[in-house]
Amino acid sequence: MIPVGGYAGARVAVLGLGRSGLAVARALAAGGAEPLLWDDSPEARARAEAAGFTLFDLTRGAAWDDVAALVVSPGIPHLYPEPNRLIARAMAAGVPVDNDIGLFFRSFATPDWDDMAVAPRVVAVTGSNGKSTTTALIHHILQAAGRPTQMAGNIGRGVFDIDPPQDGDVVVLELSSYQTDLARALTPDVAVFTNLSPDHLDRHGGMGGYFAAKRRLFAEGAPDRAVIGVDEVEGRFLANQMAQGAADDRVIRISSGQKLDGPGWSVFARKGFLAEWRKGRQVASIDLRAMPGLPGAHNHQNACAAYAAARALGLAPRVIEEALASFRGLPHRSQTVGERGGVRFVNDSKATNADSAAKALQAFDRIRWIAGGLGKEGGIAALAPHLGSVVKAYLIGHSARDFALQLGDLPHEICETMERAVARAAAEAEPGETVLLAPAAASFDQYKDFEQRGDDFNARVAALIAT
């Protein structure tokens, strides 16, 4: 556990008692603070009490007297689409509002570091797509290189549940816009911006607010090195703001699909090859095409981001290449789960919107596509340019018929359930084809989350392969 520093003897309110809220409460107590816990949900309050915590009703009139800070769980909106009433009350009372990420950054460094040969460092990854894979890939590279490392944030453990860092430790954090938006301290040593596409716009008041939340990781923290994807205009803007000139190698620009010129430091992937350029010359090249855990251009972008972060930490290109080759990917993200009769089965249940599904569809040839669920605004109309590799679609869930109308002349079948979709796709698939689950929809019509949906797909495939 990392104890929270700076609040010894103070009363600190905690709003939201999920995983991060309870971890913060424990860390506050370990740092000598008095945590005041509250959640609007009776079930969450009951779980907190069962865990040994004392509740404090923040809805009372005098609740904010002598409160030093309010720590808000990331899932609670604080400004848009409308201010949370308790957060608004804290702000009116002049109580500083923070979250677990802000407290982590102000508590991470301790006097114990004076006795370490190499001070611990933090790599923080944000962006719209690929955050989890990039974070896990950086962590994997460090592990393969024999470097002490921990992974936390929006993936793995909560930031306060990690162990106190040892000599030379590298903590790799995945940070969502919900986490960067409210943190009062953001000081990573290496900050990574993968890409930007519309998401969570109601929470951030539009695309500008969404980008602003991501940008805070760089603008507030001034990282020693910034790894920035420049395939969208926002990334190019951010890279320009962070660099003092074209040759400033504190900024590493990354891309998937375009060659990056200039005297600075860049890492890009084209036609399956990753290239590193520095000071106007190529210094390394890696063939990504045969790496099973990194299929498709979107994963090649993730590889570029992870490679650049690892290079910023001082790792050699060949060490990174060996680690990339041994990476097997994350569950439910372009995950190859089996093969039968020359047909590959791939689980990308995390593709919950059209943008992420488009990336999955571009990663494979001759696809039997399983899609559907609880469709989002616009459905799959935006996928029309990316359906050239789809042999046939097998549609499931609430939006199956709506999706069918948007597919036009593309062969499709309304299957409704995962069981039937997997069975029909497997029965019709020919050698060399891929049965791909990339739903382009939320899972909540039939499953509790995308993980359960992906697990169902995996189980159906495993049963088929076993027969």
Q: Domain-by-domain residue ranges, the chain?
A: 11-98, 104-326, 335-466
Q: For residues 362 and 47, what is the distance between their CA atoms, to the nearest angstrom?
A: 44
Q: For residues 330 and 209, what is the distance between their CA atoms, to the nearest angstrom?
A: 29
Q: Strands 190-193 and 273-278, how do they pair? A: unpaired
**Residues of the chain with pLDDT > 70: what percent?**
100
Q: For residues 396 and 414, what is the distance between their CA atoms, to the nearest angstrom?
A: 6
Measured in whole angstroms, the distance separating CA 108 from the mean position of its chain's CA atoms is: 21
pLDDT of residue 137: 98
**Binding residue per annotation — 129?**
yes
335-466, what's its fold? Answer: Protein-Tyrosine Phosphatase; Chain A (3.90.190)
Helix (H, G, I), strand (E, B) or coil at 38: strand
Whether 170 and 148 have beta carbons less than 8 Å apart is answered as yes
**Residues of the chain with pLDDT > 90: what percent?**
89
199: confidence class by pLDDT, cuts 50, 70, 90: confident
Helices (H), 93-130: 100-107
Task: Give me the phi and psi of 312, to 5 degrees please.
Answer: -65, -25
222: confidence class by pLDDT, cuts 50, 70, 90: confident
How close are the terminal C-alpha atoms of the chain, in Å? 47
**Binding residue per annotation — 130?**
yes
19: confidence class by pLDDT, cuts 50, 70, 90: confident
Whether 179 and 127 have beta carbons less than 8 Å apart is answered as no
pLDDT of residue 64: 93
Mean pLDDT along residues 254-260 = 95
Q: For residues 28 and 193, what is the distance between their CA atoms, to the nearest angstrom?
A: 30
Helices (H), 284-410: 296-312, 317-326, 354-361, 400-407
pLDDT of residue 290: 86
| Sequential DSSP letters for 40-74 | S-HHHHHHHHHTTPPB--TTSTTTTTT--EEEE-T
Mean pLDDT along residues 50-67 = 91
Q: For residues 200 and 135, what is the distance between their CA atoms, to the nearest angstrom?
A: 20
The CATH number corresponding to 11-98 among 3.40.50.1980, 3.30.1540.10, 3.40.720.10, 3.40.50.720 equals 3.40.50.720
Answer yes or no: is pLDDT of 325 > 90.
Answer: yes
How long, in residues, is the chain? 467
Task: Give me the phi and psi of 249, to 5 degrees please.
Answer: -85, 10
pLDDT of residue 315: 98
Q: For residues 55 and 42, what is the distance between their CA atoms, to the nearest angstrom?
A: 11
458: confidence class by pLDDT, cuts 50, 70, 90: very high
Mean pLDDT along residues 319-333 = 94
**Binding residue per annotation — 153?**
no
Mean pLDDT along residues 406-435 = 97
Answer yes or no: is pLDDT of 228 > 90.
Answer: yes
**pTM of the predicted protein model:** 0.89
441: left (phi over 0), alpha (psi -120 to 50) or beta: beta
Mean pLDDT along residues 160-182 = 96
Q: Which residues contact 261 (CB under 8 A, 6 or more apart)?
A: none
Answer yes or no: is pLDDT of 83 > 90.
Answer: no
pLDDT in tens, 327-359: 988 899 999 999 999 999 999 999 999 988 999
**Binding residue per annotation — 133?**
yes
Closest-CA residue to 367 (of 436, 418, 414, 419): 436
| Sequential DSSP letters for 332-392 | TSSEEEEEETTEEEEE-TT--SHHHHHHHHTT-SSEEEEEESBPPTTTTGGGGGG-TTEEE
Q: Which sequence positions are flagged as catalytic?
A: 131, 154, 200
pLDDT of residue 292: 86
pLDDT of residue 377: 86
Whether 391 and 366 have beta carbons less than 8 Å apart is answered as yes
pLDDT in tens, 278-310: 999 999 999 999 898 899 899 999 999 999 999
Answer yes or no: is pLDDT of 54 > 90.
Answer: no
pLDDT of residue 329: 86
Measured in whole angstroms, the distance separating CA 413 from the mean position of its chain's CA atoms is: 32
Answer yes or no: is pLDDT of 204 > 90.
Answer: yes
Whether 152 and 171 have beta carbons less than 8 Å apart is answered as yes
pLDDT of residue 438: 98
pLDDT of residue 44: 94
Q: For residues 64 and 92, what is the distance between their CA atoms, to the nearest angstrom?
A: 10
In single-letter form, the type of residue at position 263 comes to P
pLDDT in tens, 175-187: 999 999 999 999 9
Q: Which residues contact 90 (CB under 8 A, 6 or more apart)?
A: 13, 64, 67, 70, 97
Whether 161 and 25 have beta carbons less than 8 Å apart is answered as no
pLDDT of residue 62: 86
Answer yes or no: is pLDDT of 115 > 90.
Answer: yes
Q: For residues 284 and 339, what is the distance between their CA atoms, to the nearest angstrom?
A: 33
**Binding residue per annotation — 131?**
yes
Whether 23 and 152 have beta carbons less than 8 Å apart is answered as no
Measured in whole angstroms, the distance separating CA 303 from the mean position of its chain's CA atoms is: 14
Torsion of the alpha carbons at 195, 197, 203 and 206, rounded to the nearest 10:
120
Whether 130 and 305 have beta carbons less than 8 Å apart is answered as yes
CATH no., domain 104-326: 3.40.1190.10
Q: For residues 339 and 207, what is the distance between their CA atoms, to the nearest angstrom?
A: 40
Whether 184 and 157 have beta carbons less than 8 Å apart is answered as no
Mean pLDDT along residues 188-194 = 98
In which residue are the tokens 């040759």 written?
Answer: 247
Q: For residue 330, what are its two tokens?
A: 């994350």
pLDDT in tens, 389-413: 999 999 999 999 999 999 999 999 9
